[in-house]
Amino acid sequence: MQNTTFPKSLKKGDKIAIISPAGSVEIPQLDKTLELIRIKGYEPVLGENLYTKYQNGYSYAGTEKQRINDINWALNDPEISAVWASRGGYGCQHLLQELKLTEFRKNPKWYIGYSDNTVIQSYLLKKGFATIHGQTIKTSSFGVTEESYELIFDILKGKKPNYKIDLNPNNRVGEASGILVGGNLALVYALLGTPYTFDFRDKILFIEDIGENFYALDRMIMSLELVGAFNKIKGLIVGGMTNMGKENENKEYEESFDSFAYQLIADRVSKYDFPTVFGFTNGHIFDNRPLIIGAEINLKVEKNVLVNFKIS
């Protein structure tokens, strides 16, 4: 079994680096959460290129070199106790080949983010370090609950959240334990076949996504099947599937847990016997509750009973 290192808990006055490893952000988009960090007793330290903009077919938060410099500073500066991404978007893949962990290995720290940050979390887990798949500093257009942030601060203080999940007709009963891997499905898919992909053997896989055509969703799930991921995992947790199926021009884009996307996934994995849970509150959704990538979890799915999801 893989040994995963959990960073030490934070104490009041500790510094949290705020960086933009992917897409660009505006100052007002971060102000509310930066103030929340201060209220909680921590000191946000802004990366040099946090608000930089670089247009190259997409609005990045700086050139690749600028973003690499910021993330390597944040990961390795001994005065920094955690690293919190401002947002996702696209661009984290640019950084993988240049990441340095020389000082980080001596003083591991929590990395917090979701969406495109999945690739950084996959990289860190390959090196043996747990991360927080949770809300970024920037809140999306659909907002974020107060509890989504409170639970992140709980993890930073050393608490591990456990969840009870509402029933979903696509769930498949069973019980399994394993290390949690995954994140945004598009990035899990993008890493397949690379040295940075998650190791699926005996793991519990979590996936979520936003804004994908249904055929693109099916393609990603098929790729996981073709690489043998579903023969290896011990359980599957599906979070938000938001604004899916854009090929239907008449569809309203308000659903956070798209029922057709869920049915498509359920059909694809129906021939496997691992427990499956749909509707977990993590992803590009309003109630984005954090998960710990690299944590050992116990997943228990029973008929007509709330799903128990224990992080140990």
DSSP string, 134-164: ---SS--TT---HHHHHHHHHHHTT----EE
Q: Are 274 and 174 in contact (CB under 8 A)?
A: yes
Residue 4: both structure tokens together? 């995963």
Q: Is the pLDDT of residue 8 over 80?
A: yes
Closest Cα to residue 47, out of 22, 76, 67, 24?
67
Please report the pLDDT score of residue 310 as a whole number.
79
Higher pLDDT residue, 251 or 180? Answer: 180
Rounded mean pLDDT, 249-273 = 85
Mean pLDDT of all residues in the chain? 94
Element of type H or E holding 15: strand 15-19
Which of these CATH numbers, 3.40.50.150, 3.40.50.970, 3.30.479.30, 3.40.50.10740, describes 15-156? Answer: 3.40.50.10740
What is the SS3 assignment for 5?
A: strand
What pLDDT, on the 0 to 100 scale, is given for residue 247?
61
> Of 307, 287, 288, 292, whose CA–CA distance to 181 is shortest?
292
Burial class (CB in 10 A: 0-12, 13-18, 19+), 66: middle
Continuous segment of H or E residues that includes residue 120: helix 118-126
Give the model confidence (pLDDT) of 198-223 as tens digits: 999 999 999 999 999 999 999 999 99
Helices and strands in the chain, H and E counts = 8, 15
Question: What is the three-class DSSP state of 204?
Answer: strand
CB atoms within 10 A of CB 168: 18
Cα separations (Å) of 114 from 99, 227, 231, 287?
18, 24, 26, 13
Q: How many CB atoms lie within 10 A of CB 234?
A: 19
Domain 163-311 sits in which CATH superfamily?
A: LD-carboxypeptidase A C-terminal domain-like (3.50.30.60)
Looking at residue 303, its pLDDT comes to: 85
Pairing state of beta strands 307-311 and 163-165? antiparallel
Query: Are both 15-156 and 163-311 of the same fold?
Result: no
For the chain, percent of residues with pLDDT exceeding 90? 88
- How long a stretch of residues is the chain? 312
Who contacts 185 (Cβ-Cβ below 8 Å, separation ≥6)?
207, 208, 209, 212, 217, 220, 221
**Confidence grade of residue 164 (pLDDT, cut at 50, 70, 90):** confident
- The Cα 190–Cα 212 span in angstroms is 14
Q: How do residues 33-72 score in pLDDT, each as one tens digit? A: 999 999 999 999 999 999 999 999 999 999 999 999 999 9
Which whole number is the average pLDDT over 277-298? 95
- 175: β partners: 300
* pLDDT at residue 304, rounded to an integer: 77
Coil, helix or strand for 212? coil
Q: What are phi and psi of 231, to 5 degrees?
A: -80, -15
What average pLDDT does this structure show over 6-15?
A: 97
pLDDT of 135 over the 70 cut: yes
Q: What is the DSSP letter of 225?
A: H
Which DSSP category does 96 fall into?
A: G
Question: pTM for the complete prediction?
Answer: 0.96
Distance (Å, rounded) from C-alpha 166 to C-alpha 14? Answer: 36
- Single-letter code of the amino acid located at 260: F
Specify the pLDDT at position 248: 57
Q: What is the pLDDT of residue 139?
A: 85
Q: What local confidence, expressed as pLDDT, does residue 255 receive?
A: 74
Residue ranges of domains in the chain: 15-156, 163-311
The answer to whether 177 touches 209, Cβ cutoff 8 Å, is: no
Q: Is the pLDDT of residue 146 over 70?
A: yes
